[in-house]
Amino acid sequence: MKNIYFASARSMDFSYQTSMVAKLERMLKKMDLSRHITKDDYVAIKTHFGSEGGHRIVRPIFLRKVVEAVSSVGGRPFVTDTVRLEGLEYLETANMEGINYLSVGCPVVLADGISGKNYQKMKAGQLLGEVKIASEIFDADAMVVVTHCKGHIQAGYGGAIKNLAMGAVPGNTRSGKSERGRIHSIDTQLSWDEEKCELCGDCVEVCDHDAMTMGDKIEIDHFMCHKCRRCVEVCEQEALHLPIVQDEFQLAMAEAAKAALDTFKPNKVIYINFIMEVMPHCDCHPHSDVPVINDQGIIICDDIVAIDQASLDIIENAGRLPDSKAENLNPKEGLLFGLTGRDPYVHVDHAAKLGMGKKDYQIVDID
């Protein structure tokens, strides 16, 4: 059974020591990073840089504490994510979110390069066969996966597995095709219904990947499409369709995350999940809805399955917030299932089946 360190988000005394920042410092000490990081290791601190308009991500102050902890044991940290917008624009997004050298205290780099096309190929499972892994993650000696937990339109939940499955693969292949799109939607593609479309242009505007153009009809560039579903969500006429092959996507996610972890020697990766500001949707959306539960806290562990299992259990057992998307859900249904229509445990179960970790855990409270 895995020990998972947990620090509650409650902070009731007038003292730095009760802050989440101080609690994270204590958790990192308790984890003893020297068991995972040796002197001069290049350490990727993998997080999500967010999006313009979406502000609920892991805040720079927490990233800085992770950077300091990694440096204190002799590691050479860099904060990283893969390209979601054209590379330099995505770095600017990070900067707008407050993630830059000055705030986090180390270089902030795109793991797949400015073009989003720097990667190495890795063997994956039955669904994906092979998957591309961003070069700077492939080449790193160790990694700290820092994740903001939330709902996800296709996976039900976005945690550590999702952070790697989508975030450790490059934005594009050398030929310009979307690698992330291949995982997002195996064997399906976006279609447009001319009869329903009113040519409002909202879908073209919301697409971050220049995969749509509008003249007297909508043209979709399937080569460029990441199958992120933003356009489907924004279309009020329901003129865009991208079938969700629910289980396949979640199974493929677990395969992709495993391929990323297979680039590391054993015992070189740890995970920190922030169960705070849990939104119904992903950090890549161009907005942030209000949280569906109160802030729960931070958990830390060296097992990707245990940490996502524990995070899901904590989220599902939390009280649902009024005036949020959770308010009128059926209380007999799981919270994330109610929000997304997906069973979020599918990919965690599959990750366990692939041998990526254990579902059994025990929570160890950190004061």
> Which residues form the interface with ligand SF4 (CB under 6 A)?
190, 192, 197-203, 206-207, 209, 211-212, 218, 220, 225-231, 234-235, 237, 239-240
Q: How far is the CB of 200 from ligand SF4 (least distance, A)?
A: 4
SS (H, E, C) 183-227: HHCCCCCCEECCCCCCCCCHHHHHCCCCCEEECCCEEECCCCCCC
Instruction: Report whether 340 contacts 153 (CB < 8 A).
Output: yes
Q: How far is the CB of 166 from ligand SF4 (least distance, A)?
A: 13
Q: Which is nearer to ligand SF4, 174 or 217 (CB)?
A: 217
Output the CA angle 328-331-336, nearest 5 degrees: 80
For residue 20, give the amino acid letter. M
Q: How far is the CB of 286 from ligand SF4 (least distance, A)?
A: 10
Q: How far is the CB of 42 from ligand SF4 (least distance, A)?
A: 32
* Beta-carbon contacts of residue 315 (< 8 Å; ≥ 6 apart): 149, 157, 275, 278, 293, 296, 335, 336
Q: Which is nearer to ligand SF4, 135 or 237 (CB)?
A: 237
Q: How far is the CB of 179 from ligand SF4 (least distance, A)?
A: 13
Q: Which is nearer to ligand SF4, 285 or 359 (CB)?
A: 285
Q: Which is nearer to ligand SF4, 228 or 348 (CB)?
A: 228
Q: Which is nearer to ligand SF4, 56 or 227 (CB)?
A: 227
Instruction: Report whether 67 contacts 58 (CB < 8 A).
Output: no
Give the max Cα distance, the chain: 62
Q: Which residues of 59-87 are buried (b: 16+ CB within 10 A; e: fewer)?
A: bbebbbbbbebbbebebbbbbbbbbbbbb
Q: How far is the CB of 325 from ligand SF4 (least distance, A)?
A: 21
The DSSP letter of residue 33 is G
Q: Which is nearer to ligand SF4, 109 or 197 (CB)?
A: 197
Q: Which is nearer to ligand SF4, 218 or 339 (CB)?
A: 218
185 φψ region: left (φ > 0), alpha (ψ -120 to 50), beta (else): beta
Q: Which residues of 246-268 are buried (b: 16+ CB within 10 A; e: fewer)?
A: bebbbbbbbbbbbbbbebbeeeb
* Beta-carbon contacts of residue 183 (< 8 Å; ≥ 6 apart): 128, 131, 165, 166, 169, 249, 252, 253, 256
Q: Which is nearer to ligand SF4, 211 or 312 (CB)?
A: 211
Q: How far is the CB of 216 from ligand SF4 (least distance, A)?
A: 11
Return the SS3 of 121.
Answer: strand
Q: How far is the CB of 237 from ligand SF4 (least distance, A)?
A: 4
Question: Alpha carbon of 52 to those of 172, 224, 284, 316, 361: distances in Å?
Answer: 21, 21, 9, 29, 36
Q: How far is the CB of 227 from ligand SF4 (least distance, A)?
A: 5
Element holding 354 (H helix, E strand):
none
Q: Which is nearer to ligand SF4, 107 or 243 (CB)?
A: 243
